[in-house]
Amino acid sequence: MKKEKIVLGMSGGVDSSVAAFLLQKRGFEVHGVFMKNWDDENAICNAEDDYADALSVCNQLQVPLKKINYTKEYKERVFNQFLIDHQNGFTPNPDVLCNKEIKFDVFQKYAEKIGANKIASGHYAKIVKANGKFFICKAVDSSKDQSYFLYQLTSKILESVEFPLGNILKKDIRKIAQENNLINASKKDSTGICFIGDRKYNNFVSQFLKSNIGKIITVDGEEIGNHNGHMYFTVGQRKGLGIGARQSAFDQPWYVVNKDIDNNIVYVAQGPDHPALFSDELIADNMYWNLDIQKNIPFKCNAKVRYRDIDHSCSILSSKDDQCYIKFDHKIKAITSGQSIVLYHENGVCIGGGIIRKRNIPFLNEGINE
């Protein structure tokens, strides 16, 4: 019986390597794709070392590996948007856009080229089918779950996708790799944004965006310092404000609580529990829906407002013209414009998501732009 072909993204890490092994065990004819998305020796994603590891595993498993250079497309479709978002005052998450615009697009194109019907990756997520549609669902290993980054994948795409790690704990992935002598069984997981690497975030961004000196102002209206540009700050940020010690509010640290983009002002407050850090509602746009909720508004669900966040119970109060208004059952700290909000049923099934644009800030003066 002829084996079904499947195209698997191979990163050189232990997750995608074990995914290849597991897909083979299930009877697939696995074809690996290694994507080079960034050309910079200072990045986390050291392409040559990672490719060597991916090739070693593929040779061991007798899996053909295709290397594709996508640096041009990545810069055009992901990195340029990353810079635009910063200029507009947002704190973007490029991994979400990369999955939609680059990774799964590349997988599908190569699958069509070699006559494969399915694509796969080493993401920690599951796919469930209900009422004839396919949905992203949280992985069994909640500490590694990556469904947050995948909410933009449509049912049509998911119909031909496999996530072989969705039901396995990370510790067991390591064990499988060790038992089968995979070269990267103990390889450290990559974290953070791959193209920034070990460099300081602001130092990296400053290579591409011009500095623009502005004021740092407290929520009480006191000017206490200057900054080099609003794009170097994000809501909830504590370090790197350059304010210094002040004999007030019991010397509690300063936090960014808001930004006025038009006037290039960064607003700050003292203390990790200052009310200006907390919000219980937001507006998101650029919405992707996997479920029609219009007839059921207000719609109760759970939401993550950032990766590594816990679930927050909320109600979708309106959804119109690609915008969504969401009210939370409790106040949430440091909701950040530009990050994704991802919406779930109680059973961990992703029903949609979008980009956070505005949050309520009741403790700041009127006229301050979000």
Options 98, 301, 324, 350, the catalytic residue: 98
Kind of pairing between the strands at 265-270 and 278-289: unpaired
Task: State yes or no: is 194 an active-site residue.
Answer: yes
Percent helix, strand and coil across the chain, each to the nearest 5: 25, 30, 45
Report the SS3 class of residue 67: strand
Q: 18 and 174 in contact (C-beta within 8 Å)?
A: no
Report the SS3 class of residue 22: helix
Sign of CA dihedral 280, 285, 291, 292: positive
Name 30's Cβ contacts closer than 8 Å, sequence gap at least 6.
6, 8, 20, 23, 24, 61, 63
Options 45, 58, 137, 194, the catalytic residue: 194
Burial status of residue 360 (CB atoms within 10 A of its CB: 0-12, 13-18, 19 or more) = middle
Q: 21 and 182 in contact (C-beta within 8 Å)?
A: yes
Distance CA 34, CA 183 (A): 17
Q: Which residues are catalytic?
A: 98, 194
